[in-house]
Amino acid sequence: RVSLSPGGEAHPDRGAAVAARGWATMYRVVTDFHGTWYGWGGLQQMAFIAGNFSAARLAGANGTWPDLDMLPPPDGARDSPDAPTDKERLMYSLYALARSPRMYAGTLPADAGSLGLLAHPTLEALHARGDAAAPYAYAGNCSCEGDATGSCTIPRDAFPPCVARWSAAVDGARVVAWLNIGENASAPDALALADAGVPAGAAVAVTDVWANQTLGVVANGSFAVPSIPPHGVRMYTLTPV
């Protein structure tokens, strides 16, 4: 098997053709990614592309995988070497949700912060066994401005910020991730269990993945989601009780 590299012009229709014909094990759906945020080849654009391919149920289709390119090493923005940034948590969360091949582009052995992200148990479970992972909503101002290269960037003053809301089934539970791909902190909000795919009347134990904190049991309703910093992510596991 081979890897195809159509770059940033990849469309879910082309991914469906690769899957139907078994042309390759994986195929690039973005241009070269170097950890930037804006514009052509940036993480913000990648979030929309990953959402489109995941919504088309192409991750793992006939043994083929949309590829978001290699995971870049830390960019020097960490407060300490072992403490990943908000953007890094969002990036690793996106790769796990989209079940993109995870190839680390940094020097080996990787630093403790990157290793912690690569081996995070929830991200590992999502990447290995996540089912039907896809955005179920885009909230806020998600309008973007394109240019001649095909880039699409959300204006930096857009408010409320764009939040991509993903849900996936894994190991009998659901994982919900809200990714702030805008430039302002989001307002506090409520996560409705029904919107995230929890059956009516079901009670779930809620765990904040990145805070590593149990929030309690919620039944047939919603729970509060704090403000999300720009380029940040909130992720929760919803386990039936």
Per-residue pLDDT reduced to its tens digit, 90-140: 999 999 999 999 999 988 889 999 999 999 999 999 999 999 999 999 999
pLDDT surpassing 60 at residue 7: no
Average pLDDT estimate for 63-82: 90
Average pLDDT estimate for 208-219: 96
16-25, 105-114, 125-134, 147-156: range with lowest mean pLDDT? 147-156
Burial class (CB in 10 A: 0-12, 13-18, 19+), 109: exposed
The neighbouring-strand residues paired with 216 are 206
153 pLDDT band, cuts 50/70/90, is confident
pLDDT attached to residue 115:
95
> 115 — phi, psi (to 5°)?
-60, -40
pLDDT surpassing 70 at residue 58: yes
Dist. CA 153–CA 34, nearest whole Å: 17
pTM of the model: 0.93
The mean pLDDT of the chain is 90
pLDDT in tens, 191-200: 999 999 999 8
6 pLDDT band, cuts 50/70/90, is low
Write the CB contacts of 197 (distance below 8 Å, at least 6 apart in sequence): 136, 167, 169, 174
> 216 — phi, psi (to 5°)?
110, -170
